[in-house]
Structure 1
Amino acid sequence: MTAEAHVRPQDQGNRFLAGPGLSLTVAVDAGYLQVQRRDAPPAAFRLDTTIGRLSPLALPDGLDDAAIMTMAAIEAVLARQPAMQRLLLDVATPPQLLQRLGEDGVVTFQDDFPLILPEMFMQQPGPWIGRTRSPFAQRYVMTGDRRHPQRPPKPSGVVYARFIPWLAQTIRFHAATLEDHLPLLHRWMNDPRVDAFWNEAGSLEHHRQYLSTLIADPHMLPLVGSFDDAPFGYFELYWAKENRLAPFYDAADYDRGWHVVVGEDAFRGRDFISAWLPSLMHYMFLDDCRTQRIVGEPAAAHHQQLRNLERSGFARIKNFSFPHKRATLVMLLRERFFEDRLWLPAESPQAASSGLSARADAVL
């Protein structure tokens, strides 16, 4: 594999960042892609738009570098083409790279053709959460009267990053800390529009105690979302088995749920919802491959939120009553999220203006 770059793409406006700490960008120019990383030589690829075939033109010598750069190029193509059903990887790709990608489930072989299927590729954790550890070992413990798997140590820093083509911005989720995020949470929770649903307005000390409690709770993970460097919202992820929701349905061991505050008015609206909502679901499915369902319990009277959730693949299961509100149980299946490619809306403006072809179904 040579480290020499064969292309110098001019379209620097189309840039795709891989997961936290990877600092990968992909520049796209017509049918050519160049992947760059600060500490490695660039990689170059050509996309044959007539049959949807991606061919490496230049790769770094290290197998790990070649694999992650190839995955970044694949992600760039799929992000620009939400209708793409499959992508053929050139059979001339170095055998050791094909073997690595096949072992990881990035590539599947059909009649000796190495194919990338979006529904399998998007389940790879590396490009978006920056790690590929095995699932946390299973051991059952008790929390009160709830028996559930012991939960893994909580992550720190940026836990997920994905470039959003139709916004030309990168969404990131950060593990919330008192030092970095308490003032944001305090301001957002005191917004009358937020307080109408959360009922958590209060003093800075109240919110310090609130966030401290969540950070210390093994079943909760508070996150702050940002577009590029602008924080926009607060999220609480929870394992459903230990949560207040568990008594109201047959909660599985790795079901996960979430609550949300969009704190900045500038980031409300469909374009942003279609970015942060599927990205948050994507993170939860990637964080543990055993998570098969994501659940939620929005207020039954919050009709706009329920419509947004249905458009994003959630099914309404039933209405039920908490002590503090009438709620609707909603549920998203892993199979539906990935098989229906819900991480990227088909009507994305980026796809409509892209020069890359969606005719990948013509490969076989």
Structure 2
Amino acid sequence: MPFDAATPTCAPRWRSLQADEGDCRLSLTLEGRPLISLRLVPGETLEAHLQQICPERPEQALWAACYWLLSRDPACQRLAWHLPQPIPQAVASGLLLPDQAPGRYLCERTLFWQLPQPWLGESLAGVYPQQMQLSNGKRHPRRAPKPRGEVYRRFDARLGAWVSLRTLEIGQDLERFNRWQNNPRVEQFWQEGGSLEQHREYLTKLEQDPHTLTLIGCFDDEPFAYFEAYWAKEDRIAPFYPADDYDRGIHMLVGEETHRGPHKVASWLSALVHYLFLDDPRTQRVVAEPRADNGKMIGYMHDQCFHCEKEFDFPHKRAALMILGRERFFERCKLV
């Protein structure tokens, strides 16, 4: 299973984490070097007793073991660690929580998946300071400068593939975007078919819009989808529900036929939502407004813990307001 052998602030590398495991033990090695060894005691909460750990990078070794144990069992909500010595960095980051019993620490799934590293990699710039402003009659926080390049990467154990997100580059992606938008299946819902120049104008407008981020979704670095992530407070959706300052919204388009299907949607939709919640910890909801008659997509969103708040009318379509809260996502979505 891939794991980052570099510092915690680097994006995951194309390297391999190997396991030797049984019902009551787990040993991890990274490129042939011992990383961590545990004695496991199954129960209502899996108890992990530390036996050996790499002294050069103890927090990463703990992270790797938590990742392995939580990924192999999506139903596992908590790990209990028994450590002979505290590891302050792991406690400071939220990876481990001190328990009442001396030497016992808890790793909570809902906290683990909110740690921004290594999923965000070098795109992480910290929380942008808040300053309220008015634009087009709407009061909202000033938005951070848009990132460029890859913003998210995670290995999906279910698919055995990397799922990643990068920003759209017009020079690199225009022809691909044009082909996708002119696909009759896509045009039925997006209604954005047109020429290369029309799409260049469309993407240039979004590139200059501080409230929208255009993204390309990739499996194993192969582009397959286009996403728009927007700040809901200054979007057209805002009048239709009580939008919070840091709510994010999404528009989604899968362009490559080979990457359609519910198993692929489960991977990329969870990755997209995961990225948006990690991008700013103040984001408490992700929303979407698919056409109300797009039953297949609405069903996929229900599978990823969205709920339909209501239906409403845009000028161009009858829409379903789909909402997913931060707490619900990290408690119920089966990230692996």
TM-score when normalising by structure 1: 0.83
The answer to whether the Cα contact below 8 Å between 1:232 and 1:263 also exists between their aligned partners in 2 is: yes
Inter-partner Cα distance in structure 1 for 2:271 and 2:30 = 24
Which one of 276, 300, 303 corresponds to residue 295 of structure 2?
A: 303
Could you give the per-residue CA deviations for residues 79-118 of structure 1, whole angstroms, max 9, x where no partner exists?
A: 11101121122312x43xx211111111111223111010
Closer, same or farther: CA 19–159 of 1 in aligned 2, 3 Å: farther
CA drift of 1:73 comes to 2.9
| 2:113 corresponds to 1:118 | no
| Structure-1 residue corresponding to 2:88 | 99
CA drift of 1:179 comes to 2.6
Query: What amino acid is the match of 1:59?
Result: C
Q: Secondary structure at the match of 1:127?
A: coil
Q: Secondary structure at the match of 1:291?
A: coil
Could you give the per-residue CA deviations for residues 103-153 of structure 1, whole angstroms, max 9, x where no partner exists?
A: 111111122311101011111001211255431100011111111000111
| Structure-1 residue corresponding to 2:240 | 248
| Structure-1 residue corresponding to 2:210 | 218
CA drift of 1:229 comes to 2.2
The answer to whether the Cα contact below 8 Å between 1:316 and 1:330 also exists between their aligned partners in 2 is: yes
CA drift of 1:55 comes to 2.6
Which one of 127, 130, 136 corresponds to residue 144 of structure 1?
A: 136
Which one of 250, 253, 268 corresponds to residue 260 of structure 2?
A: 268
Inter-partner Cα distance in structure 1 for 2:80 and 2:324 = 29
Closer, same or farther: CA 206–101 of 1 in aligned 2, 3 Å: same
Inter-partner Cα distance in structure 2 for 1:82 and 1:91 = 24
Which one of 11, 14, 21 corresponds to residue 21 of structure 1?
A: 11
| Structure-1 residue corresponding to 2:52 | 57
Which one of 221, 226, 239 corresponds to residue 229 of structure 1?
A: 221
Query: What amino acid is the match of 1:140?
Result: M
| Structure-2 residue corresponding to 1:350 | none
CA drift of 1:33 comes to 4.2
| Structure-2 residue corresponding to 1:44 | 36
Inter-partner Cα distance in structure 2 for 1:287 and 1:197 = 28
Closer, same or farther: CA 324–37 of 1 in aligned 2, 3 Å: farther
Closer, same or farther: CA 54–264 of 1 in aligned 2, 3 Å: farther
Inter-partner Cα distance in structure 2 for 1:216 and 1:206 = 16
Closer, same or farther: CA 323–117 of 1 in aligned 2, 3 Å: same
Question: Structure 2: 5+ residue runs without aligned partners?
Answer: none
CA drift of 1:256 comes to 0.5
Could you give the per-residue CA deviations for residues 174-230 of structure 1, whole angstroms, max 9, x where no partner exists?
A: 111113222221111111111111111111121112112112211101110111121
Question: Structure 1: 5+ residue runs without aligned partners?
Answer: 1-13, 345-364
CA drift of 1:312 comes to 1.2
Closer, same or farther: CA 42–22 of 1 in aligned 2, 3 Å: farther
Closer, same or farther: CA 22–304 of 1 in aligned 2, 3 Å: closer
CA drift of 1:35 comes to 5.2
Inter-partner Cα distance in structure 2 for 1:204 and 1:231 = 18
Inter-partner Cα distance in structure 2 for 1:195 and 1:47 = 55
Which one of 113, 119, 127 corresponds to residue 128 of structure 1?
A: 119
Query: What amino acid is the match of 2:19?
Result: V
Using the aligned pairs only, state the percent identity. Answer: 39
| Structure-2 residue corresponding to 1:73 | 65
Closer, same or farther: CA 332–21 of 1 in aligned 2, 3 Å: same
| Structure-2 residue corresponding to 1:32 | 26
Inter-partner Cα distance in structure 2 for 1:172 and 1:54 = 34
Closer, same or farther: CA 76–19 of 1 in aligned 2, 3 Å: farther
Inter-partner Cα distance in structure 1 for 2:36 and 2:268 = 30
| 2:150 corresponds to 1:158 | yes
Query: What amino acid is the match of 2:119?
Result: W
Q: Secondary structure at the match of 1:136?
A: coil
The answer to whether the Cα contact below 8 Å between 1:27 and 1:34 also exists between their aligned partners in 2 is: yes
The number of residues matched between the two structures is: 323
| Structure-2 residue corresponding to 1:347 | none
The answer to whether the Cα contact below 8 Å between 1:163 and 1:171 also exists between their aligned partners in 2 is: yes
| 2:197 corresponds to 1:202 | no
Closer, same or farther: CA 146–117 of 1 in aligned 2, 3 Å: same
The answer to whether the Cα contact below 8 Å between 2:17 and 2:31 also exists between their aligned partners in 1 is: no
CA drift of 1:20 comes to 6.1
The answer to whether the Cα contact below 8 Å between 1:171 and 1:226 also exists between their aligned partners in 2 is: yes
Query: What amino acid is the match of 1:57?
Result: Q
After superposition, the CA RMSD in angstroms is 2.1
